[in-house]
Copies of this chain bind each other. A is one copy, B any other.
Amino acid sequence: MKKLINNPADVVKEELMGVALAHPDLVRVHFDPNYIVRVDAPIQGKVGVISGGGSGHEPMHGGFVGVGMLDAACPGAVFTSPTPDQMYEATKAVNGGAGVLHIVKNYTGDVLNFEMAAEMAMAEGIEVASVVIDDDVAVQDSLYTAGRRGVGTTVLAEKICGAAAEQGRSLQEVADLCRKVNGWGRSMGMALTSCTVPHAGKPTFDLPEDQMEIGIGIHGEPGRTRMPLKTADEITEMLALPIINDLPFKSGDTVIAMVNGMGGTPLIELYIVYRKLAEICKGHGITIARSLVGNYITSLEMAGCSITLLKADDDILKLWDAPVKTAGLRWGL
C-alpha cells in the first residue's frame, strides 16, 4: 500500500485537520463527533442542507460545504457510513429554525444511520426531511432489494438544493426539488483499477492488466461485470447508453452532464470521455447545457470514471448557475 498517510487509523482525523487549516474562510471542523460545517452556520431562517457518507470520496461531501451548497457534511471512516451522532450534531449545528434536509445516498448503512439521526433530531423538535439518492443504473432496482446506489447525482443535488436553500425556499420545497433532481438524474461508473482501503492495506479486488470492471459503485466494490479493456469511446458508450435509455432521456431534453474521475484517472482522459459523451448526446438530440469534468465523487485512488446526466429545466439551470463557494465547487463568489 503506497499512500501519503501516517497511520490508517488517523487518516480521517488528520485529513479533517488539514481541511480545517486549509479552509478557515469556508468551514469549521468539529471533532468527536466529526462534521464539517459552514463557517457562518446556523443561518437563521434558512433551510439547512446536510449530507454525509464514508470518507474516501473527496471532494464529496466535505469539499461541498459552503455558501450555496451544503451547510454541513458528516464524514465516516473510509467507505463507512458515518454514525447517527454525527448527523444529529450536524443537524443541530445548522438548524436555523427552518428545518434541515438530509441528502442520503442509498446504501443500507447510510440510510440506517441517517434514519436514526433524523429520529434523534426530530425528538428534539427539529424538522428534518430526508431524501435518498438512488441514481445508479448499473444496479437493477426492485422492491425486494436494497435498490439502486446513490452516486453522481448526489453532487448535482447538493449544488442545486444548496442554491435553493440559499434562496430561502422552504424545507418542503427544497426536499421536493431534491426528489425531482434524483428522479431526473442517472449515473453509471467503471473502474480500470481497484483502490486500497487504508485499513485493509491491499486492493479491494484484483483486476488483471487487460480487464476492467463495469457498473462499479464508489466504495471500491467490484462492478456488475468484468470484461476486457476497451477504448475510451467504447467505454463511454457502455456507460452513456444505459443512462440515456433508463430515464429515458429524449431528443429535445436539456441536461447537465458530469464526467467524473474516480480519483486516479488524469483529467486528460476525462476530457477524452467527455468528447465522446458530447457526441453521443448530440446524436440523441440531447443538449448539454452545463458540464462538469473532473474528480467530484471518487473512490480513493481508483482509476476509472463515471458519467451522470441530469435532465434540467429552467429552475434547475438557474439554481446550477447560482453562486457557490466551496473548496470543491466554486463560482460567482
Contacts of A2 in B (CB 8 A): 192-193, 209, 212, 229, 303
Interface-side segment among A83-91, A120-128, A168-176, A261-269: A261-269
A267 partner, pick from B16, B78, B295, beta carbons under 8 A: B295
Contacts of A6 in B (CB 8 A): 231-233, 272
Cβ-defined contact, B266 with A298, below 8 A: yes
Q: Is the interface of A mostly helix, strand, loop or mixed?
A: mixed
A17 contacts partner chain B, Cβ-Cβ < 8 Å: yes
Q: Using CB atoms, name the residue of chain B closest to A257.
A: B22
Given contacts A4-B272, A295-B295, contact A300 B11 (CB under 8 A): no
A59 contacts partner chain B, Cβ-Cβ < 8 Å: yes
Q: Using CB atoms, name the residue of chain B closest to A299.
A: B266
Task: Convert A10-32 into 0s and 1s, putting 1 for each residue whose CB lies closer than 8 angstroms to a CB of B.
Answer: 01101111110110000000000
Given contacts A5-B272, A263-B264, 8 further A-B contacts (CB under 8 A): A3-B232, A4-B232, A4-B265, A12-B268, A19-B271, A21-B278, A22-B293, A295-B295
Which of A's residues lie within 8 Å of B, judged by CB?
2-7, 11-12, 14-19, 21-22, 55-56, 58-59, 63, 78, 192-193, 209, 212, 229, 231-233, 235, 263-275, 278, 288, 291, 293, 295, 298, 300-301, 303-305, 325, 327, 330-333
